[in-house]
Amino acid sequence: MRIADVLARKGNAVLTVPPDAPVTELLAVLAERNVGAAVVLEGERLAGIVSERDVVRHLHQRGTDLLAAPVSEIMTSVVATCRGGEDLQTLSRTMTERRIRHIPVVDDQDRLAGIVSIGDVVKNRIDQLEEHRDQLEAYISG
């Protein structure tokens, strides 16, 4: 399965924040949307990605002063990305090896086209296994 197929099922909406947004605003949006990460966009340019883990790690180091800081101070600026035509299995390996839970999808002009989470990868795998089980049951009882 291709990454574009996953986006076709789930949609291509991506939570984004500007780099100068305060961490408190980021936390409010993550909680409101019930997601674990946001893509940081500077205009239309992908500037970084920031997750709940980033907040926790920096909060532990800096204390509550972090909450007023801009997202740019805690975001990951070297972002792993993928393209819609790539294979989901390859993306799954990348996520596992690099311990990444969210990977932005970019188009041919490097514009943001969506995001794939580890939850999307797991859901796809479960769907595949259920489909195979159903096929085997139909074959056995057929």
Q: Is the pLDDT of residue 142 over 80?
A: no
Structural domain containing residue 67: 3-141
- d(CA 22, CA 95) in angstroms, rounded, equals 28
Please state, in angstroms and rounded to a whole number, the distance separating the CA atoms of residues 138 and 33: 40
pTM for this one? 0.87
CATH number of domain containing 11: 3.10.580.10
- Measure the CA–CA gap between 29 and 18, rounded to whole angstroms: 12
Q: Is the dihedral of CA 82, 87, 88, 90 positive or negative?
A: negative
Q: How far apart are CA 14 and CA 32, in angstroms?
A: 14
Query: Chain-centre distance of CA 70, in angstroms?
Result: 20
DSSP 3-state assignment of 75? coil
Span 50-101, pLDDT tens digits: 999 999 999 989 999 999 999 999 999 999 999 999 999 999 999 999 999 9
How many domains are there within the chain?
1
